[in-house]
Structure 1
C-alpha cells in the first residue's frame, strides 16, 4: 500500500516531538520533589588537545537548595563543599583551601541545575539527542555569555541520572557516571559546612 509522503513527514514530526517531550520529562521528573541525593561516581577528565585522560572516583551529596559536597577518593583525596554562599575546594594532602563566591561560580553550570530550582529554558537552550546506549540524552547549551561550558550532556535511565558530560572552553571534557543513586536520603547537615582548620593556606579565587 502506498503511503503519502506528507503522512510520513507528519509521522516523523510526531515521533521526534514525542522523543523530545519524553527525554525532557525524564529530566523534569528527576528534579521534581528532589531535596537530597547521594550517589557514587566515576570521573574522566579528557584533554582533547593532548588526548590525556585522568580518572577519579568518589561520592556526591546534594541538599537542595544550594548545598552539595563532592568527595574525591584516592592517593590525593580532596573535596568540594558548597554551603550556600561559598564554594570550598579542600586539598588535605597539602593543607590548602581555595574559596570562591558560590553565586558567581555556579551560574550556568550543571551544579546550579541540580542544586537550585531553575527556569531551564531561561538559562539553557535544550536540545533532544534521542536514545543512545539505552539512555535518553539531552544537550544543554548555557545562554549566559562567557560561561565556562560550551555544552552539557545529560543521560537518563528512566528517571535516574546516569551520566553527565561537560565540554568547557579550554578543550577539556569531563564525564561523570553515577551509580547507587539514593533519592531523598537523610543527610547530616555537617556534610555541607566547612571551617578551615588551623594551619591551612586559604586562597581566594
Structure 2
C-alpha cells in the first residue's frame, strides 16, 4: 500500500509539473525550426445589435529561430508575411502591394515573437508577463500580456498538447485578443518539429511592378 501511495504521489507530481508555462519554455528551448498548416478565425466584436463578423483563412507557417518566419495565406485571399531577420515584408497579391518595415521595431511584443522569433524565454519576458492558465480542451495554456500599454494587443493565449511521438509539447493554438475587442484564433495542424528548412523560405523579393511602401 505504501509503495502504491508513493507511486501515486510521484505520478501526481509529474502531471502537476506539466504546465503551460513549462511547455512554452520547453518549446522555445528545443524547437528551433517548425512547419505547419494553419487555419485562422477572426471574430470582430458585435456592433449596433448585429451579429459579430467572422472571417476564416488558411495557409502554411514556417519559422527558424530566432527572427525568421513566413506565413503564407492561400485562402480566401493570397497574402505573404516574411521576416528575414532585418525586414518584415507583407505582400498582398490582389493589391500587388508590398509593405516593408524594420523588423526590430515591430516584432518585440507580437504573437510571432512568442512562438517563432525569440531566442529564449528571457527574451520574451522583456516584452510580456507570462502566466500559467488552467488546462482546457485537453491543452496546456499560458497567457502572455504585453508590458507595453500603448500597443494593439490585449492578451495572447498559447495552447500546447503533449507530443505523441516526441518529448515535450507541440504548439496547437494561438488566441489573440486586441485592444479593439477583435479575437483571432490560429489552429496549427500537422506540426513538424525541427525540420530542415531552406534559407530561401525566409527571403523575399518584391515582385516586378508591385508598389513598395516603407512606412
Using structure 1 for the length normalisation, give the TM-score: 0.86
Question: 1:113-156: per-residue Cα shift (whole Å, max 9, x none)?
Answer: 22122413332222222111111111110112312211000111
| Whole-angstrom distance in 1 between the partners of 2:93 and 2:173 | 28
**How many residues are aligned here?**
189
| 1:176-195 aligned within 5 A | 176-195=186-205
Is 1:76 matched with 2:86?
no
Deviation of residue 75 (structure 1)?
A: 4.1
User: Which stretches in structure 2 are left out of the alignment for 5+ residues?
Assistant: 1-11, 163-168
Deviation of residue 87 (structure 1)?
A: 0.7
**1:106–1:20: structure 2 CA closer, same or farther, 3 Å change rule?**
farther
Deviation of residue 55 (structure 1)?
A: 0.2
Deviation of residue 191 (structure 1)?
A: 1.2
Using structure 2 for the length normalisation, give the TM-score: 0.82
**1:27–1:70: structure 2 CA closer, same or farther, 3 Å change rule?**
same
| Whole-angstrom distance in 1 between the partners of 2:67 and 2:28 | 14
Structure 1 equivalent of residue 154 of structure 2:
150
Structure 2 equivalent of residue 66 of structure 1:
67
With 150-159 and 43-52 compared, the bigger mean Cα shift is at 43-52
Deviation above 4 Å: which 4+ runs of structure 1?
18-21
Deviation of residue 33 (structure 1)?
A: 2.3
| Whole-angstrom distance in 2 between the partners of 1:20 and 1:146 | 34
With 186-195 and 19-28 compared, the bigger mean Cα shift is at 19-28
Q: In the alignment, which of 22, 25, 29 is matched to residue 28 of structure 1?
A: 25
Alignment RMSD (CA, Å): 1.7
User: Which stretches in structure 1 are left out of the alignment for 5+ residues?
Assistant: 1-14
| 1:105-116 aligned within 5 A | 105-113=106-114, 114-116=116-118
3-state SS in 1 of match to 2:77: coil
The answer to whether the Cα contact below 8 Å between 1:20 and 1:130 also exists between their aligned partners in 2 is no
3-state SS in 2 of match to 1:112: helix
3-state SS in 1 of match to 2:132: strand
Structure 2 equivalent of residue 167 of structure 1:
177
Question: 1:72-95: per-residue Cα shift (whole Å, max 9, x none)?
Answer: 012421110011111111112221
| Whole-angstrom distance in 2 between the partners of 1:133 and 1:75 | 28
The answer to whether the Cα contact below 8 Å between 1:19 and 1:128 also exists between their aligned partners in 2 is no
**1:117–1:199: structure 2 CA closer, same or farther, 3 Å change rule?**
same
The answer to whether the Cα contact below 8 Å between 1:38 and 1:183 also exists between their aligned partners in 2 is yes
Is 1:92 matched with 2:106?
no
